[in-house]
Amino acid sequence: MTTPQKISGSTPRAGDSPRPKSHFIRDIILRDIESNKNGGRVHTRFPPEPNGYLHYGHAKSIHLNFGLAKEFGGKFNLRFDDTNPLKEEMEYIESIIEDVRWLGADWEDRLFYASDYFEQLYAWAVQLIQAGKAYVCDLTADQVREYRGTLSQPGRESPFRGRGVEENLALFERMRAGDFPDGSRTLRAKIDMASPNLNMRDPILYRILHAEHPRSGNKWCIYPTYDYTHGQSDSIEGITHSICTLEFEDHRPLYDWFIEQLGIHHPQQIEFDRLNLTYTLLSKRKLLQLVRDGHVRGWDDPRMPTLKGARRRGYTSEAFREFCSRIGVSKTNGVIELALLEHCVREDLNKRALRVMAVLRPLRVVIENYPEDLVEEMEAVNNPEDANAGTRKVPFSRVLYIERDDFREDPPKGFYRLSPGREVRLRYAYMMTCRDVIKDASGNIVELRCTYDPETRGGNAPDGRKVKSTIHWVSAPHALEAEARLYDTLFTKEDPNEVQEGEDFTINLNPNSLEIVERCKIEPCLAGAAAGSLYQFERLGYFCVDPDSKPGKLVFNRTATLRDTWAKIERKQKGQGGSKGLRYCT
RNA sequence: UGGGGCGUCGUCCAGUGGUAGGACACAAGCCUUUGGAGCUUGGUACCUAGGUUCGAAUCCUAGCGCCCCAGCCA
């Protein structure tokens, strides 16, 4: 008889066969396949504008689009919607390609650019003019706005709306030829100036922009707007399901209008909620501002919610994929707690990161009864979660460094690490008792004098006595020095946009988002660790080697802290509450 | 204000007429040579008010609240 299984439609637990999480978009596709819409084809795409670096929110979209194509044996395209030469750069194109690949999405040979469709888009515009559905308008930008009306009042028709087909054709051709200055004319669709949907009030299809495009160079001086480009680009590529975020829901009638007027393949647009994360800003414009104004060290600063930043910080793409499938997809405007992302990161790192001992803030310890010249090799487990990771030897000697936080001269209640007269276990080594505290002239603790029990090699006492605490250590003569960069949230508020009248979101920047700790002491086995390598510093957190590392001086980024029960108790004792408010640095 | 969208534990997501479930977070406990990991247990969540029904988170009606739209940005 088999054990009854728990039935649940949600995320499978680790070890279960990965079952895609159900959501409304997936349901729509399932129905479309069943009804043989599009001949049962599933073809999605990720359509970024190359005007910035990809952030966590894009990861959600990529995961959704690629995941759907993959699940249903369909195709996934990467297409750049590069319709605004004023904001776009090759640098962004290159970085986006890297990031999408890093996340594991595969577009095979289908890397496209809306700019490659400019000629077709132009021909379609001519077709619309010929059908009397588009006209050249001489109104200025300000006038266009005035004529558009407001949310509650209908707009007025442009005086140029009645231009004849031939005149429109000639004018549009001259726009392309460069006969007119920027902003002097536009090509507009002739739809309905009284529509309650502002997108239908004769939207602009083409604007004059004498600007060099990162890909088409100076071939064009008129550029199609996003609204005129996006839907048709999807159509050209045979996209079946055009998945986008909620704010484009209002635009769908317009995209449908273009498709119908042109009589071309009709992709189905489906809108979902964009990602919002606590303590995090996911707006390209604001992220750009943080970089430009020097609030962070660059797009790949580990505090940035960019994919580049995440990677440098040590977040894995596996963790991201898990995160994306756990948050689900819906149309609710929600905010995901950062804790969930961190959980996914820890979950992945716990399985893969090699354990190592490192002391961030060293306190010198001399073991008085340990022979001066003796060095022992202690065997340490590389990863208790992975038997295949094996073991390593860690040198042990008379002088060690331990973490300053692991000693309290006057231990508070509940603190059971080292203190005068107390015995603790040195991980993988011996039991050790603190005998004396050495201070400098100003009363700072500079050294601990301790004794060890030679009978406890490996960590267990033959007499069976127990010790409350196990602490990490590094042998002083063998230690390597390193720099550690400890990160906290970039903003102090769950919602960084919550500001008072007249204030800017930068007021919420966390002054303690980066703490640099120099002269950390680390195990010798770390010598030569490659940039990007992931480790767990036992009892401290996950760390990864930063590319700033130089031979002889490693730099580590703290990817995530470990759960710190003692810190939580202590915060509670200080009456700060366990969960709310700003988190902590170390 | 016109239009579009959305309201289920603290948070996110399921449940689409038949005992409201999962994850994260939180709390308590177990275990532990990482105060890690793991394991166990816990909690008055269906926006409100009417209605239909034997039975409503699901259907109907009326409210209320939140988000988006007035770029020649995407």
- Nucleotide with smallest C1' distance to residue A14 CA: B23
- Contact, A544 vs A532, CB < 8 A? yes
Mean pLDDT along residues A402-429: 96
Nearest protein residue to nucleotide B26 (CA to C1' distance) is A579
pLDDT at A28 over 60: yes
Q: What is the DSSP letter of A213?
A: B
CA A488 / C1′ B36 distance in Å: 20
Q: Which residues pair with A486 in a beta bridge?
A: A515
What pLDDT is attached to residue A579? Answer: 40
What's the half-sphere exposure (Cβ side, CA atoms, 13 Å) at A53? Answer: 23
CA dist list (Å): A358 to A31, A39, A89, A330, A424: 55, 59, 42, 43, 18
Structure-token pair, residue A129: 């003019």
H helices of A250-368, in order, are 252-262, 284-292, 307-313, 317-327, 338-352
Of the ranges A13-22, A109-118, A121-130, A203-212, which one carries the lowest mean pLDDT score? A13-22
Mean pLDDT along residues A311-339: 97
Mean pLDDT along residues A151-173: 97
Answer yes or no: A361 catalytic: no
Give the integer Cα–Cα distance in Å for A342 and A345: 5
Residue with tokens 């930068």: A506
- Strand A204-208 to strand A186-189: parallel, antiparallel, or no bridges (unpaired)? antiparallel
pLDDT at A7 over 70: no
Give the integer Cα–Cα distance in Å for A33 and A74: 11
Mean pLDDT along residues A515-529: 97
CA A45 / C1′ B57 distance in Å: 35
Which position among A21, A26, A37, A49 bears the catalytic label? A49
Give the integer Cα–Cα distance in Å for A423 and A402: 14
CA A570 / C1′ B32 distance in Å: 21
Strand ranges for A13-116 from DSSP E: 43-46, 75-80, 111-113
Three-state DSSP class for residue A19: coil
Mean pLDDT along residues A110-122: 98
Which position among A37, A274, A297, A583 bears the catalytic label? A274
pLDDT at A219 over 60: yes
**Crossing angle of helices A56-71/A24-34, nearest 10°?**
20
What pLDDT is attached to residue A13? Answer: 32
Contacting residues for A301 by C-beta, under 8 A, at least 6 apart: A309, A312
Which position among A215, A284, A417, A425 bears the catalytic label? A284
Nucleotides of strand B lying closer than 7 angstroms to a protein CB: 1-8, 10-16, 21-27, 33-38, 66-74
DSSP A300-322: T-TTSSBHHHHHHHT--HHHHHH
- Contact, A424 vs A468, CB < 8 A? yes
- Nucleotide with smallest C1' distance to residue A142 CA: B72
pLDDT at A298 over 90: yes
Structure-token pair, residue A437: 């505290």
CA dihedral A213, A215, A216, A218 (to 10 degrees): 40
pLDDT at A56 over 70: yes
pLDDT at A316 over 90: yes
What pLDDT is attached to residue A53? Answer: 97
Give the integer Cα–Cα distance in Å for A394 and A112: 53
CA A340 / C1′ B49 distance in Å: 37
- Contact, A213 vs A88, CB < 8 A? yes
Answer yes or no: A163 catalytic: no
What pLDDT is attached to residue A20? Answer: 73
A576 band by pLDDT with thresholds 50, 70 and 90: low
A575 band by pLDDT with thresholds 50, 70 and 90: low
Mean confidence (pLDDT) of chain A: 94
CA A332 / C1′ B47 distance in Å: 14
Mean pLDDT along residues A336-354: 98
What pLDDT is attached to residue A21? Answer: 81
Answer yes or no: A574 catalytic: no
Contacting residues for A464 by C-beta, under 8 A, at least 6 apart: none
CB atoms inside a 10 Å sphere around CB A393:
13
Three-state DSSP class for residue A572: helix
A571 band by pLDDT with thresholds 50, 70 and 90: confident
- Nucleotide with smallest C1' distance to residue A537 CA: B34
Tens of pLDDT along A443-487?
Answer: 999 999 999 999 999 999 999 999 999 999 999 999 999 999 999
Share of chain A above pLDDT 90, in %: 92
A573 band by pLDDT with thresholds 50, 70 and 90: confident
pLDDT at A398 over 80: yes
pLDDT at A17 over 50: no
What's the half-sphere exposure (Cβ side, CA atoms, 13 Å) at A171? Answer: 23
Mean pLDDT along residues A546-568: 95
Tens of pLDDT along A222-267?
Answer: 999 999 999 999 999 999 999 999 999 999 999 999 999 999 999 9
Structure-token pair, residue A4: 């009854």
CB atoms inside a 10 Å sphere around CB A430:
22
Structure-token pair, residue A7: 């039935």
A19 band by pLDDT with thresholds 50, 70 and 90: low
Give the integer Cα–Cα distance in Å for A372 and A569: 39
A37 band by pLDDT with thresholds 50, 70 and 90: very high
Structure-token pair, residue A423: 């015995």
Q: Which residues pair with A509 in a beta bridge?
A: A491
Task: Please give the model's pTM, rounded to 2 decimal places.
Answer: 0.94
Three-state DSSP class for residue A167: helix
Nearest protein residue to nucleotide B8 (CA to C1' distance) is A332
- Nucleotide with smallest C1' distance to residue A201 CA: B70
- Nucleotide with smallest C1' distance to residue A209 CA: B72
Q: Report which of residues A2 and A287 the model is more confident about.
A: A287
What pLDDT is attached to residue A443? Answer: 96
What pLDDT is attached to residue A574? Answer: 78
Give the integer Cα–Cα distance in Å for A362 and A375: 20
| Amino acid identity for residue A269 in this structure | Q
A577 band by pLDDT with thresholds 50, 70 and 90: very low
CA A396 / C1′ B36 distance in Å: 23
